[in-house]
């Protein structure tokens, strides 16, 4: 069992969090309009074109890692750590690999390039994930980006009310919390529409309910929406102020 972690509640009261592990099981993956093509491509493995690479692109919390774990389970793939790429390319072989967060984890450019070349030569299946399009990756070698563009490319997103609602059900389920579907519908109709915001809202409401010793209610949902909006307004004010100060410095 996960050891409890003490944390301050929203009201300042100290609460205990027993921790939660998001499920990456295939049966818990929510298939919707925004990720259907990516999921279908994974299901059709090993019948992939050459080179046998797949690139999943999407924002934080959009389900990239969940899809990667589904494929890893189906393909018997290992997760390639950044420091292992050079050794993997030298060792060769055709064992499938998952390489996550290519655009922000600090992979050595030469090692990644060598591994892509080895994979192309030996037809080693790779599943790659990133938040940004290939053109925005912070690599200097155009040849590396050209290689990455050979992957079957699948942008994913949370695109509709049903999928966003199902995402809330999973997020709360991962925390072993049951929430009235009417509260989820209330949230989906009023929140900023992104998977990152759904994750933030679920975490905030869980913290609020724990601090108060209650279930997640509509009142908690309304307060969480207001708190998140206030945080966005505050962040925007800071950006506007920095913009004004920047213009003043230029004059």
pLDDT digits (tens, 9 = 90+) for 124-161: 999 999 999 999 998 988 899 999 999 999 998 766 78
Q: Which of the four pLDDT bands, split at 50, 70 and 90, describes residue 251?
A: low
pLDDT of residue 222: 95
The mean pLDDT of 45-62, rounded to a whole number, is: 92
pLDDT of residue 161: 80
pLDDT of residue 52: 96
Q: Which of the four pLDDT bands, split at 50, 70 and 90, describes residue 246?
A: low
Max CA-CA distance within the chain? 60
The mean pLDDT of 45-69, rounded to a whole number, is: 92
**Structural contact between residues 57 and 192, judged by C-beta atoms closer than 8 angstroms:** no
From residue 8, give the alpha-carbon distance in Å to each of 2, 13, 208, 215, 216. 18, 6, 10, 18, 18
**Structural contact between residues 124 and 93, judged by C-beta atoms closer than 8 angstroms:** yes
**Structural contact between residues 57 and 154, judged by C-beta atoms closer than 8 angstroms:** yes
pLDDT of residue 21: 62
pLDDT of residue 249: 57
């Amino acid at each position: 069992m996960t050891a409890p972690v003490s944390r301050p509640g929203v009201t300042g009261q100290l609460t205990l969090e027993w921790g939660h592990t998001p499920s990456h099981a295939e049966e818990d993956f929510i298939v919707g309009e925004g990720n259907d093509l990516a999921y279908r491509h994974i299901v059709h493995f090993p019948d992939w074109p050459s080179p046998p690479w797949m690139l999943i692109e999407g924002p934080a919390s959009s389900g990239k890692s969940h899809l990667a774990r589904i494929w890893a389970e189906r393909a018997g793939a290992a997760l390639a750590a950044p420091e292992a790429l050079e050794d993997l390319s030298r060792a060769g072989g055709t064992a499938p690999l998952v390489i996550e967060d290519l655009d922000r984890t600090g992979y050595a450019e030469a090692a990644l390039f060598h591994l892509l070349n080895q994979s192309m030569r030996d037809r080693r299946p790779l599943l790659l994930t990133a938040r940004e399009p290939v053109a925005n990756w912070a690599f200097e070698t155009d040849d590396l980006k050209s290689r990455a563009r050979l992957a079957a490319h699948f942008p994913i997103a949370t695109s509709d009310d049903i999928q966003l609602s199902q995402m809330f059900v999973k997020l709360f389920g991962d925390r072993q919390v049951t929430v009235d579907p009417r509260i989820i519908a209330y949230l989906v109709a009023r929140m900023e529409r992104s998977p990152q915001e759904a994750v933030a809202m679920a975490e905030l409401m869980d913290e609020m309910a724990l601090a108060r010793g209650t279930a997640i209610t509509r009142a908690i949902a309304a307060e969480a929406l207001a708190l998140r909006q206030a945080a966005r307004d505050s962040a925007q004010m800071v950006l506007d102020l920095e913009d004004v100060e920047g213009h003043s410095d230029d004059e």
